[in-house]
Structure 1
Amino acid sequence: MEVLTVEKKAKYQRIINILALTIPIAVAAILGIREKVELGSWTKVLPHVIGVINSLTAVFLVLGFIFIKQKKRNAHRTMMMAAFLLGAVFLVCYILYHISNESTPYGGVGSIRYIYYFLLISHILLSIVVVWFVLRSVYFGYTNQLSEHRKATKWALPIWLYVSVSGVIVYLMISPYYQ
């Protein structure tokens, strides 16, 4: 029976590793398509929806952290699953917006421009990295491997929280330039 458990763990680790590589590569490939798809004017609201999603994700992450510190496991699990599901909705909205709309150039000048690009680049790079940590955290939490869950969340939570908050800041900085 022990061999089966080890095999199952290895199988899920492979799936997590494949997803953690495939998701960013697929998103980059989709975004690299130059020809835009006409989905309608409703897609113009998606950056605002994405801003709300990032805001809610940050709130849910903080609440999930507070709840686990208070030993409220069910509330913690609810908040973290809500944040995880919002991540999936974010990904769909992000792709829909970028396949149907041209990128909006940032119009700020001076030192604020450097701050914007620092936040944007760090946000993008860490959003790629965090996928692996989040998938592992969810898997370990869901399978009640709490020691491994704690190890994964030690990295996942701060990176995911940074990605969510920096996403909101980047959105607020570029939103005046949306057409």
Structure 2
Amino acid sequence: METSIENTKKYNVWIWMLSIAIPIAVAALFSVKIPGVERLGFLPPIYATINGITAILLVIAVYQIRKGNRKLHERLMKTAIGCSVLFLLLYIAYHMTSDSTLYGGEGMLKYVYYFILLTHILLSIIVIPFVLITYVRAISGQFYKHRKIARITYPLWLYVAVSGVIVYLMISSYY
């Protein structure tokens, strides 16, 4: 019978493969446009809402684990991961059918927008292995290690979720 450490090593290979493959696939799919498919312009408010729901789930999940409600915490975190996957699928679908929208604001607000956008994009790439490692440590019963990395994962993931909503709100009038 394999130990949780052996299983974790197997998961680590998948974690790093996904952490590299997902950003590369997303970048590559930006250049793919599906001909004959109607523009999916209705998706940005939906995936921005999903980002907002993810942020709320993360906050509630942390509150629940601090109260000692491990089972609800686990369900909330699995739901947050599911929301992030759904966000990614909708985001890719939108960009495969629609041209990117340019921000039309001027002055200082333009710099604020691009700062938030760039940090959102960079951290959305960086957070992938953190989320996956944190999850694997939890499901393999390595709770001390789980808590240790969750202290890093949580604020990164929360920033990505909240900044995704902010980016949408700042650019929504230019769609």
> What TM-score comes out, normalization by structure 2 length?
0.95
List structure 1 segments (4+ residues) > 3 angstroms apart after TM superposition: 35-38
Query: Is the 1:67–1:73 Cα contact (8 Å) retained in structure 2?
Result: yes
Structure 2 counterpart of 1:140, one-letter code: R
The Cα of 1:138 is off from its aligned counterpart by 1.1
Partner in structure 2 of residue 64 of structure 1: 61
Cα-to-partner distance string for 1:49-95 (whole Å, 9 max, x where unaligned): 01100000000000001001111111111111111000110010000
- Partners of 1:32 and 1:54 lie apart in 2 by 24
Match for residue 116 of structure 2 among 106, 116, 119: 119
Match for residue 139 of structure 1 among 128, 132, 136: 136
RMSD: 1.3
1:176 aligns with 2:173: yes
Match for residue 102 of structure 2 among 100, 105, 112: 105
The Cα of 1:8 is off from its aligned counterpart by 2.6
- Per the alignment, in what secondary structure is the counterpart of residue 76 of structure 1? helix
- Partners of 1:9 and 1:117 lie apart in 2 by 38
Partner in structure 2 of residue 7 of structure 1: 6
Query: Is the 1:37–1:99 Cα contact (8 Å) retained in structure 2?
Result: no
Query: Is the 1:130–1:156 Cα contact (8 Å) retained in structure 2?
Result: yes
Higher relative contact order, structure no. (Cα contacts within 8 Å, ≥ 6 residues apart): 2
Query: Is the 2:8–2:137 Cα contact (8 Å) retained in structure 1?
Result: no
Query: Is the 1:36–1:101 Cα contact (8 Å) retained in structure 2?
Result: no
Q: What percent of counterpart residues are identical? A: 44
Point out where structure 1 has 5 or more consecutive residues left out of the alignment: none
- Partners of 2:140 and 2:6 lie apart in 1 by 15
Cα-to-partner distance string for 1:100-133 (whole Å, 9 max, x where unaligned): 0000010101100000000000000000000000
- Partners of 2:78 and 2:8 lie apart in 1 by 21
Point out where structure 2 has 5 or more consecutive residues left out of the alignment: none
Query: Is the 1:16–1:132 Cα contact (8 Å) retained in structure 2?
Result: yes
The Cα of 1:146 is off from its aligned counterpart by 0.5
- Partners of 2:144 and 2:16 lie apart in 1 by 20
1:27 aligns with 2:22: no
> What TM-score comes out, normalization by structure 1 length?
0.93
